[in-house]
Amino acid sequence: MRLIAICTGLVTPLVLKGGDGQARTTPSGIVKQAVSTLEKPLQIEVKPLGVVGDEQYDHTVHGGLDKAVYMMPCEHYPFWSEQRRLNGLSSELPWGMLGENLVCEGLSEENLLLGDELHIGDVILRVTQPREPCYKFAVRMGYSKAPKHMVQNGCSGWYLRVVKPGMIQAGSPIQKVSTGEGKTVLDQFRFLTRKGQLDLLD
């Protein structure tokens, strides 16, 4: 298990198209870019409220102590690349495209429990909850069914609380310290999106 990339982004206007075809904008922090990669493993600081250089706009759904950092497995990227290709969009997805701060390898929603801790260098992060998709994710991905695809496939990623701040860099190994109890991230995601699961049957 290792850290593949660290991504940050500032709040910027996200362009939305309404049912009337008119464009409007809404502030969002979903647009992120890699600032530390395997090719350029720069050290980045993580503080109690998140990765230095990163911003969140709507703190009712992102940010705060329990959702300070958002992690996504790199293993999900081929799925999203293929969905974009099927919708006539570019399948070349840079790290951070899914709105995540940390891209990991070797972890998944199925093998992580709520409360598990991830030790990366001198930083300790605690798994708190899965991410739930919203309309901004659809806008970012470029097609309207992206949130449903996340619900259907359970590829949500997860939020983390910063237990111990410090410096991290891409390429660092990740040590999982499991609580051995509680729901998996996937089970909790299924519970939170149960209405969406029913909608998929329509």
User: What three-state secondary structure class fits 38?
Assistant: coil
For residue 146, the model assigns a pLDDT of: 95
pTM, entire model:
0.92
For residue 19, the model assigns a pLDDT of: 64
For residue 179, the model assigns a pLDDT of: 82
Tokens 């049957």, residue? Answer: 201
The answer to whether the beta carbons of residues 66 and 161 sit under 8 Å apart is: yes
List average pLDDT for each run of 10 residues in the chain, which is 202 residues long: 97 80 85 97 97 88 90 98 96 96 98 97 96 91 94 96 98 93 93 69 43
What does DSSP say about strands 69-73 and 102-105: parallel, antiparallel, or unpaired?
parallel
Tokens 């695809």, residue? Answer: 149
For residue 134, the model assigns a pLDDT of: 86
Give the chain's length: 202
Q: What is the rounded distance in angstroms from the CA atom of residue 94 to the CA atom of residue 62? A: 21
Give the residue from 128, 161, 143, 151 showing the smallest Cα distance to 199: 151
Give Cβ neighbours of residue 55 (< 8 Å, ≥ 6 apart): 9, 10, 11, 29
Q: What is the rounded distance in angstroms from the CA atom of residue 126 to the CA atom of residue 164? A: 9
For residue 202, the model assigns a pLDDT of: 44
Dihedral sign for Cα 128, 54, 61, 91, please: negative
The answer to whether the beta carbons of residues 68 and 102 sit under 8 Å apart is: no
**Please, what are the domains in the chain?**
2-192 (2.40.33.20)
Q: What is the rounded distance in angstroms from the CA atom of residue 193 to the CA atom of residue 200? A: 11
